[in-house]
Amino acid sequence: MVMAAPIPTIMDTRPMPIDARLLTLTQWLAPGFPTGAFAYSHGIETAIHDGWIADADGLEAWLRDCLTDGTGRADAIWLRLAHVVDDPLEIDAKARAFTLGHERLREAERQGSAFVATVNAIWNLALPDMLLAVAVGRAARLAGLDIDATVALYLQAFVANLTSAAIRLSPVGQTAGQRVILHLQDLCLQVADQTRGADADDVFGNAFLSDIAAMRHETLEPRLFQS
């Protein structure tokens, strides 16, 4: 006797459910999360003013350096360390010591404080004020979020925020800006992967023009951004 093949059920073809923790992570790192990121250009305003960034290609090259040799890579390391250590305030102190320039430190402080205030209120955490990367790393641990996904999305948010600043400063249009973000996706993943297992001794800064632009921004007038 020939047996009829079983009829597939809905459960056989239903996609795996999305982990709600991924939605939490994207909420934390979305442009609408109230960290005040829109107020900071990370020195890009000075770079545009001085002609160092004049178009989308220049912006992409600038952001590549920031990711691989500047704040992006350093933040990825601080974030990972804050996720695993028992005392995140020790990591926060080290991250502050490595921050170049008054405005860079204020940028990380104020965004970190705003992030902490919101996650404490909504997710019932008890984080102290810390720099943004350190605060995100610690919050991710307390909320049980995947550290690799956290670092990758943090870096993409870093790129997206700075691209948004460049769009508002006019050398890059919205379509070109979105193309820059897309082009840097793989690099965000690479930096996230390369910083696995890194410690404070692995932090360095070779994005010299970015650092110079950030420090020169302290005396730039007129200006739109706080950094």
Contact 59, 209 (CB under 8 A): no
Residue with tokens 């840097």: 184
Q: Tell me if the pTM is above 0.75.
A: yes
Q: What is the pLDDT of residue 3?
A: 45
Contact 182, 175 (CB under 8 A): no
What is the C-alpha to C-alpha distance for residues 2 and 54, in angstroms, rounded to an integer? 72
Q: What is the pLDDT of residue 13?
A: 52
The tokens describing 83, both together, are 């996720």
Q: What is the dihedral of CA 188, 178, 137, 131, to 10 degrees?
A: 110
Q: How far is CA 183 from the centre of its chain?
A: 16
Residue 9, pLDDT > 50, answer: no
Domains observed in the chain: 39-216 (1.10.4190.10)
The pLDDT tens digits of the residues spanning 164-219 come to: 999 999 889 999 999 999 999 999 999 999 999 999 999 999 999 999 999 999 99
